[in-house]
Amino acid sequence: MTTEATVTEAITTARGTERRAGSRQPRLHRSVRRGSTVQRRSILLTIVMGLLALYALLPLFWLLVNSTKTQRALFSSFGLWFSGDFALWDNIVQTLTYHDGEFVRWFGNTLLYVVVGAGGATLLATLAGYALAKYDFPGRRAVFAVVLGAVAVPGTALAVPTFLMFSQLGLTNTPWAIILPSLISPFGLYLIWVYASDAVPSELLEAARIDGSGEFRTFFTVSLRLLAPGFVTVLLFTIVATWNNYFLPLIMLSESTWYPLTVGLNSWNAQATTAGGEAIYHLVITGSLLTIVPIVVAFLFLQRYWQSGLAAGSVKQ
């Protein structure tokens, strides 16, 4: 079980980082030590990294600039600076009202998938990871092996068979077709499993048992509180995964009623190339901006959690 070892190692690494980030002391020590020895801040290195940051931020700046332009200015002006009338508010209003406000509908769908899908996935992963860490039950090793194997299975390779199966079950073109597959987060299960082995002392559970508390009551009143940081990290990962989900809804939905934002935006973009379709590039651009604003804001506010959770090498989907 070498995979097990590697994954565990990575997660423990992540948690170590978190511990370190939590206490300021070691960090201070380190920078003091470094400052006192040979190392000084390097302007050259900062400039090189500045180029990389420019590469990362330039497309986002482009998006911001171009969402302020009318469709005509979009074609006629220089891409990286403002031009013509400041049409951002007008573009936003048009985006929100185009085709009877389908953008708003897609936004609502995306929220539904995020709340039910990501919330459900986090809850299921927490329950299961906690059980793997804290209970010895028949088949425990088998559960672990099966879930571990699932990480190696490429998600998108499964999408077409899943579609065929769901269409037999009559689930395609319903929200369930999106929600059910996003309820599984093997990575989340690992994270909670490793986290719970440390964060929830077995003696505490034993004490609760002696006091006559049922296992589920203990879980919801005692353990869940101790698991909170791990829970939030998993929640953030699953939120991004569901917010950005594209392939699955593309396959599962043939009508725009249940589209999430990602599939909806792409359909707006593709509509220009279809016969008789109206080109609405300015709305595609403004819609893209509106799509990333909530998730970028969430990122910036919750970055502390990201940094600890990331090292576990999450699933790239």
Q: Does 114 bind other proteins (CB under 8 A)?
A: no
With CB under 8 A as the contact rule, the residue among 22, 28, 33, 101 that binds other proteins is 33
| Residues between 264 and 283 that touch other proteins (CB under 8 A) | 265-266, 269-270, 273, 281
Closest to other proteins by CB, 210 or 275: 210
Q: Are 137 and 131 in contact (CB under 8 A)?
A: yes
Triad 68, 69, 75: Cα angle to 5°? 150
Q: Is the distance from CB of 105 to CB of 257 less than 8 angstroms? A: yes
- Which of the stretches 27-35, 89-97, 99-107, 111-119 binds other proteins when contact is defined by CB under 8 A? 27-35
Q: How far is the C-alpha of 300 from the C-alpha of 295, rounded, in Å?
A: 9
69-88 binders of other proteins (CB under 8 A): 74-76, 78-80
- Asked if 214 touches other proteins (CB under 8 A), the answer is yes
Which residue stretch of 87-95, 96-104, 226-234, 294-302 sits at the interface with other proteins (rule: CB under 8 A)? 294-302
Per-residue DSSP letters for 37-63? Answer: SS----HHHHHHHHHHHHHHHHHHHHH
The yes or no reply on residue 209 touching other proteins (CB under 8 A) is yes
When asked if residue 34 is in the footprint of other proteins (CB under 8 A), the reply is: yes
Torsion sign across C-alpha atoms 191, 195, 197, 200: negative
Q: How many residues bind other proteins (CB under 8 A)?
A: 126
Write down the least CB distance from residue 36 to other proteins, Å: 11
Task: Tell me which residues in 238-257 interact with other proteins (CB under 8 A).
Answer: 240, 243-244, 246-247, 250-251
**CA proximity to 176, closest of 162, 186, 161:** 162
Q: Which amino acid is at 40?
A: R
Using CB under 8 A, pick the residue from 25, 36, 89, 152 that binds other proteins.
Answer: 152
Residue 202 interacting with other proteins (CB under 8 A): no
Among 90, 232, 299, 304, indicate the residue that binds other proteins (CB under 8 A): 299
Alpha-carbon span 58 to 63, nearest angstrom:
9
Distance CA 239, CA 277 (A): 33
Instruction: Check if the beta carbon of residue 94 is closer than 8 Å to that of residue 71.
Output: no
